[in-house]
Amino acid sequence: MKKGYFITVEGLDGSGKSTQMDLITRYLKERGRKVIVSLEPGGTSIADRIRDLLLDPQCSDMDVRTELFLYLASRAQHTSRLIIPALNRGMDVICSRYYDATIAYQGYARGLDRDFIKNANDFATYGLHPDLTIIIDIEPRQGISQAHTTKKKHNVKGKGDRMEQESLDFYRTVRKGYQAIASREKHRVKLVPFRKGAENLFHDIQKVLDEFFRNKEEPPL
């Protein structure tokens, strides 16, 4: 059985990942592919409960190591119960964030040991790697401003969820982390500069998708 493709979308909060995932999903379905859409942290009932802890502003005193292990726990559940089974059924999985986010946020911005994080990610993901990762590269001030005005479960009075309440310097370091990942893994990771207008941004993302499928031995279904 032909396995599906695993595509992840990364970027700072407020970079428009959710909208672009909708457009990517439409792109794939128009090509006859079967698609499942998910996100991290979360994706399954247990992982969603961990997500609530991670994003709840009332958990502001969370230790950075606790934070790391909660992300990893959510990822292990998500990978084993949703992502791998879907891929094995021949479905493409489109996921908002995966292990690159942990490297950028907990590794670069939190300052935790990146080699340890890499090994822990390999364990939590059962060795699974995305076939393609798209990073939307947005200026931190613009991204966090947009994130604070987005209506969602953990957004408190326009200040965002627990992670979105971090400083601008924190997000600048996250961005540097993402840029470093893209520079180091050019075959898998594609950095796409943010553009205003969802369709304008997707125009650039579609070029990445078109190239990805052209380079595959088999054309899209």
- Give per-residue pLDDT as tens, 150-200: 665 556 556 788 888 889 999 999 999 999 999 999 999 999 999 999 999
Q: Tell me if 1 is assigned to some domain.
A: no
Q: Tell me if 72 is assigned to some domain.
A: yes
Long-range contacts (CB closer than 8 Å, 24 or more residues apart) made by 107-114: 107/177, 108/173, 108/174, 108/176, 108/177, 108/180, 109/166, 109/170, 109/171, 109/173, 109/174, 109/177, 110/64, 110/67, 110/68, 111/64, 112/64, 112/65, 112/68
Count of the separate structural domains present in the chain:
1
Instruction: Tell the residue number behind the tokens 């595959």, with chain if given.
Output: 216
CATH code of the domain containing 17: 3.40.50.300
Give the phi and the psi of residue 121 in degrees, each rounded to 5.
Answer: -65, -45
What is the reported pTM?
Answer: 0.91
- Answer yes or no: is pLDDT of 102 > 60: yes
Rounded to an integer, what distance in angstroms lies between the CA atom of residue 107 and that of residue 117?
A: 7
Q: Tell me if 119 is assigned to some domain.
A: yes
Q: Tell me if 220 is assigned to some domain.
A: no
Domain of 36 in residue numbering reads as 6-212
Cβ-based neighbour number of residue 70 at 10 Å = 18
What pLDDT is attached to residue 143? 84
- Answer yes or no: is pLDDT of 95 > 80: yes
Tokens of 31: 């090509």
Q: Tell me if 24 is assigned to some domain.
A: yes
- Answer yes or no: is pLDDT of 220 > 50: no
Q: Tell me if 177 is assigned to some domain.
A: yes
